[in-house]
Amino acid sequence: MGKLIAATGNQAVAQAMRQIDPHVVAAYPITPQTDVVEEFASFVSDGLVSTEFVPVESEHSAMSTVIGSSAAGVRAMTATSSQGLALMWEMLYIAAGLRLPIVMAVANRALSAPLNIHGDQSDSMGARDSGWIQLYCKNQQEAYDTLIQAIRIAEHKDVRLPVMVCYDGFIVSHSLSGVTLLDDDKVKAFVGKHVPLYPLLDSKNPVSYGGLVLFDFYFEFRRQMVDGMARAPRVIDEVAMEFAEISGRHYGRYEKYKIDDAEIGVVVLGSAASTSEVVVDELRAKGIKAGVMRLKSLRPFPREELAKELGHLKALAVLDRADSPGALGGPVGLEVRSAFFESEKRPKLINGIYGLGGRDTTPEHIASVFYSLQKIAEGGKVEEPLFYLGLRGGKDDGRQSEAAIAQARAAGQRA
Amino acid sequence: MKSEQKENPGASAKAVAPKEKPGWADVPIGAVVLEAGCGVEYETGEWRSERPVVNTDKCINCLFCWVFCPDGAVIVENEKFKAIDYYHCKGCGICSNECPAKVITMVEETKFQEANGEASAAVQGNGNIKAKTGGKGE
Ligand code: SF4
Ligand code: SF4
């Protein structure tokens, strides 16, 4: 079944787009997303897709074009990163507010300044309130699989919200991995025919999009959008089950790795989950009950599920590949902490910021976090509720991880 | 949205009957306006601070005003200038600027109303606006 190829995350995403064969793709190249567009443009020129490809002059125009196309009544996709996503900002809210089922691949990258092209999740984290569904993938295969599922999720009548499929810049977008592609006709059948809702081009049933809505109705429309988000978990789960049937691969809105009987654990998004799993295996071999909770669906956020699945832990670290200067912690840390507020049973919680600007996060770094958690679980105090992992210098920042790495080394851990 | 709008002299009794505003679960998805041409019900005329007053005796029926009016507020009948639709005219003055015969004068709305009384302010050519302006009749 399917075909195993060697592909980067971007190539895998471009292959998914080829198989989806959307009516319209409008995109502007930006590192590290560039090859998605480059590769897809070659599919267009080779006649492998029937897509109307619009090479626009900016990301603002790219998002505007797919918004217009989607409202017109067709399936429209794009891809971006970092500054490109930032430039789309205004239009992101419009896509979601108009309830247009646009699907966008986001190769996560740091935001300027200072200028940096490497991976962190600051770009899409900032867009978490825009009304887009956000799914974070851990590897190339998952990026491919998720993009295909995203079409079904976005277009589902109970959801009708745009979806961002996020994967770490360079770590996933540019590294080669084995990716199993589904057969073209299977993907075609899975995504199905696009059924537009209130298409602008239906001249027999004329409608208008984008009218002025003031204090008397705006509130109601925004609340209705939240309802689309509230219905999304069921749809995401159903689509995942259906996808598993044709592919043999299943992804949940969150994924547990040895967490059920764990005493300490980390919550992490994206590729760092794979690193964390390796560390957990090593710790388990030493009798340390560690586990990983990978959060895939940041929007909608599985609040109740996380509180339930992680409540038994003694200590938990939430790892954020984005910071929120002046806040209590990183965006995911804040939200996981809030998720526990109503729970009787909850772990002691620390929040680590890691990997900004593509800073490598090694198994040693993750191991150092688990060692800190172990100390807390053994009755130690939470000394640094917010810490920076793998950061040089500073009075407090990074000390915890540096000290813990030294401790881990001393204890004969891999170094 | 409709229920919020002011009564349109051209609208039917049914359309202007007071309605409960729908709750969040009942508004159309994405704020899509499902009715065509409903802009005709929206009184933009109340935005006007100056009104175009046309000296129809000297009008040469070139219809420049009809072409240039950004609001479709010039009513034409049998290819001749008929009236200004004050329910929609925003008073931008473009017609007055473009009129080659210089027969459209912009008059301050307050002054006009002082001189003519508020009641007569909406009179000139208001008639059945919807049918005349190409909106949904009735
Ligand atoms: S532009 Fe002036 S002259 Fe021409 S139709 Fe209008 S009012 Fe009459
Ligand atoms: S003043 Fe402006 S809106 Fe009013 S009729 Fe003239 S052009 Fe149209």
* Any domain includes B18: no
Residues B6-23 pLDDT 10s: 444 444 444 445 678 999
pLDDT band at residue B34 under the 50/70/90 scheme: very high
Q: Which ligand is nearest to the CA of B94?
A: 2
pLDDT beyond 60 at A266: yes
Average pLDDT value for residue range A51-63: 98
* Any domain includes B29: no
Residue of B19, B33, B40 to mutate for A, most A C-beta atoms under 10 A: B33
pLDDT at site A2? 87
Query: Tokens 């729970």, residue?
Result: A343
Nearest chain B CA: its distance from A90 CA (Å): 16
pLDDT at site B117? 79
Query: Tokens 């009016």, residue?
Result: B69
Residue of chain A whose alpha carbon sits nearest to that of B3: A216
Cβ atoms of B95 and B62 within 8 Å: the answer is no
Average pLDDT value for residue range A41-63: 98
pLDDT at site A367? 96
The answer to whether residue B32 neighbours chain A at the CB level (below 8 Å) is yes
pLDDT band at residue B131 under the 50/70/90 scheme: very low
pLDDT at site A409? 62
For ligand 2, atom 3, name the residue with the nearest CA.
B89
Residue type, A343: S
Q: How far is the CA of B129 from the centre of ligand 1 (A)?
A: 19
Residues of chain B with pLDDT > 90, as a percent, come to: 62
pLDDT beyond 60 at B119: no
Residues A140-171 pLDDT 10s: 999 999 999 999 999 999 999 999 999 999 99
Task: Record the pTM.
Answer: 0.87
Average pLDDT value for residue range A324-330: 96
Residue of B5, B29, B35, B44 to mutate for A, most A C-beta atoms under 10 A: B29
* Any domain includes B1: no
- With a Cβ cut-off of 6 Å, ligand 1 is lined by B 54, 59-65, 81, 99, 101, 103-104
- Interface A–B counts its CB contacts (< 8 A) at 58
* Any domain includes B118: yes
Nearest chain A CA: its distance from B120 CA (Å): 30
The answer to whether residue A220 neighbours chain B at the CB level (below 8 Å) is yes
Closest CA to A356 of A324, A404, A388, A322: A322
Residues A65-92 pLDDT 10s: 999 999 999 999 999 999 999 999 999 9
* Any domain includes B25: no
For ligand 1, atom 8, name the residue with the nearest CA.
B59
What is each CA distance from B37 to A73, B26, B28, in whole angstroms? 20, 21, 17
Q: How far is the CA of A199 from the centre of ligand 1 (A)?
A: 39
> What CATH number is associated with residue B65?
3.30.70.20
* Any domain includes B12: no
Closest CA to A1 of A186, A238, A276: A186
pLDDT band at residue A405 under the 50/70/90 scheme: low
Average pLDDT of every residue of chain A = 95
The answer to whether residue A209 neighbours chain B at the CB level (below 8 Å) is yes
Cβ atoms of B81 and B54 within 8 Å: the answer is yes
The structural domains of chain A, with segments of one domain joined by +, span 3-247, 254-414
A3-247 matches A254-414 in fold: yes
Closest CA to A278 of A295, A259, A264, A292: A292
Q: Within 13 Å and on the Cβ side, how many CA atoms surround B85?
A: 30
| Alpha-carbon dihedral A256, A170, A323, A295, rounded to 10 degrees | -20
Q: What is the CATH number that goes with domain A3-247?
A: 3.40.50.970
Residues A219-237 pLDDT 10s: 999 999 999 999 999 999 9
Average pLDDT value for residue range A177-192: 98
The answer to whether residue B60 neighbours chain A at the CB level (below 8 Å) is no
* Any domain includes B133: no
Residues of A in contact with B29 (CB under 8 A): 99, 160, 197-198, 224
Residue type, A366: I
* Any domain includes B51: yes
pLDDT at site B128? 38
Nearest chain B CA: its distance from A97 CA (Å): 6
Average pLDDT value for residue range B70-80: 96
Residues A331-376 pLDDT 10s: 999 999 999 999 999 999 999 999 999 999 999 999 999 999 999 9
pLDDT band at residue A401 under the 50/70/90 scheme: low
- B129 vs A142, higher pLDDT: A142
- The correct CATH number of A254-414 out of 1.10.10.200, 1.10.275.10, 3.40.109.10, 3.40.50.920 is 3.40.50.920
Residue of chain B whose alpha carbon sits nearest to that of A220: B24
pLDDT beyond 70 at B62: yes
> Mean pLDDT lowest for which of A4-18, A101-115, A382-396?
A382-396
The answer to whether residue A6 neighbours chain B at the CB level (below 8 Å) is no
Rounded-to-integer distance, Cα A277 and Cα A256, Å = 10
Average pLDDT value for residue range A392-405: 58
Nearest chain B CA: its distance from A153 CA (Å): 16
Q: Which ligand is nearest to the CA of B68?
A: 2
The preferred substitution site among B44, B87, B95 for testing ligand 2, maximizing ligand atoms within 8 Å of CB, is B95
